[in-house]
A = this chain, B = another copy of it.
Amino acid sequence: MPSDPWLAQLQSTGCRLTAARRAVTEVMQSAERALTPVEVYDAARKRDPRLGLVTVYRTLEKLESLRLIQRVHHSQECQAFLKAGEGHQHILLCERCGRAVLFDGDNLEALFERVGEQTGFEIKSHWLQLYGLCEECRTG
């Protein structure tokens, strides 16, 4: 049983632990910003030079289905991945350097209730992303 929690979860769902999956996992775990499949590919080949791009796509798909990573949506594109938050966490993105920070807690229940009454919808889920400038980009 691997000590790394992501690898443990992969294994516990019947997956084999391969060099490719270790490399992609390490890249995604240590990333400070959302990465596209090609960016993951470039970074992960430093750990496993034989890695193919197809395997990156497949591994990202698997990690996403296990909710270990999530998609980040930018204005034009939504194919970048970031480690998933826990519970009610949301994403805060720096518009300048791309750094991604997860923050937790929101209290939007009152809003949902009001919107539900006004529209007749039954609100099932929500999705919130904030954009701004991180401390370094503001001061640097």
Please report A residues at the B interface, Cβ cutoff 8 Å.
Answer: 71, 73, 75-78, 92, 94-95, 101, 103, 106-108, 111-112, 115-116, 118-135, 138
Contacts and interface: CB of A to CB of B under 8 A. Distances in A.
A116 B132 contact: yes
Given A121-B133, A126-B131, 4 more contacts: A120-B135, A121-B134, A124-B133, A127-B131
A127 B125 contact: no
Q: How many copies does the complex hold?
A: 2
A125 B130 CA distance: 6
A50 to B, nearest CB: 29
A121 B107 contact: no
A129 B130 contact: no
